[in-house]
Amino acid sequence: MEIFTSPDAGRALLDRYRELLDTWPVPAERLTVPTSLGDTFVQASGPPGAPPVILVHGAMANSLTWFGDIAAWSRRHRVYAVDIPGEPGLSAQVRPPRADYPGWLAEVMTALGHESAAVVGLSLGGWISTGFAVRHPSRVERLALICPGGIGKVRHGILLVALLLLAVGQRRRSQRLILGGDLSGTGWFGEFHDRINRDTRPRRDSLPIYTDADLSSLTMPMLVIAGDRDALINGPQTARRVRANVPKADVRLLPGVGHLITGQTDTIGAFLDA
pLDDT band at 2 (very low <50, low <70, confident <90, very high): confident
List CB contacts of 106: < 8 A, sequence separation 6 or more: 132, 135, 136, 139
Query: What residues form DSSP beta bridges with 4?
Result: 200
Q: What is the CA radius of gyration of the chain?
A: 17
With 0-12 / 13-18 / 19 or more C-beta atoms within 10 angstroms meaning exposed / middle / buried, residue 143 is buried
Q: Cβ neighbours of residue 81 under 8 Å, at least 6 residues apart? A: 42, 43, 44, 45, 55, 57, 63, 65, 66, 70
Asked if 123 and 149 count as a contact pair (C-beta separation under 8 A), the reply is: yes
For helices 7-21 and 188-199, angle between their N-to-C axes, nearest 10 degrees: 160
Helices (H), the chain: 7-21, 70-73, 101-111, 124-135, 156-167, 171-179, 188-199, 212-216, 235-245, 265-273
Assign 165 a pLDDT band (cuts: 50, 70, 90). very low
Q: Residue 44 is which amino acid?
A: A
Q: Is 139 helix (H, G, I), strand (E, B) or coil?
A: helix
pLDDT of 270 strictly over 70: yes
The Cα angle at residue 188 between residues 181 and 127, in degrees rounded to 5: 55
Report the sign of the C-alpha dihedral through residues 119, 212, 123, 135, in that order. Answer: positive
| 260, pLDDT greater than 70 | yes
Write the pLDDT tens digit of every residue in 76-106: 999 999 999 999 999 999 998 889 999 999 9
SS3 140: strand
Phi-psi map region of 145: left, alpha, beta (phi>0 left; psi -120 to 50 alpha): beta
Task: State how far the Cα of 122 lies from the Cα of 56, in Å rounded to an integer.
Answer: 6
The answer to whether residue 247 scores a pLDDT higher than 70 is yes
The letter for the amino acid at 138 is: S
Instruction: Please state, as a whole number, how many other Cβ atoms lie within 10 Å of the Cβ of residue 41.
Output: 21
Distance CA 150, CA 195 (A): 27
First to last CA, the chain: 42
Write down the CATH number for the domain with range 7-155+206-273.
3.40.50.1820
Whether 66 shows a pLDDT value over 80: the answer reads yes
The distance between the two most distant Cα atoms of the chain, rounded to a whole number of Å, is 49
Contact 152, 210 (CB under 8 A): no
Measured distance CA(263)–CA(164) in Å, rounded: 30
16 compared with 229, residue with greater pLDDT: 16
Kindly report the average pLDDT of the chain as a whole number: 91
- Check residue 9 and give its pLDDT: 95
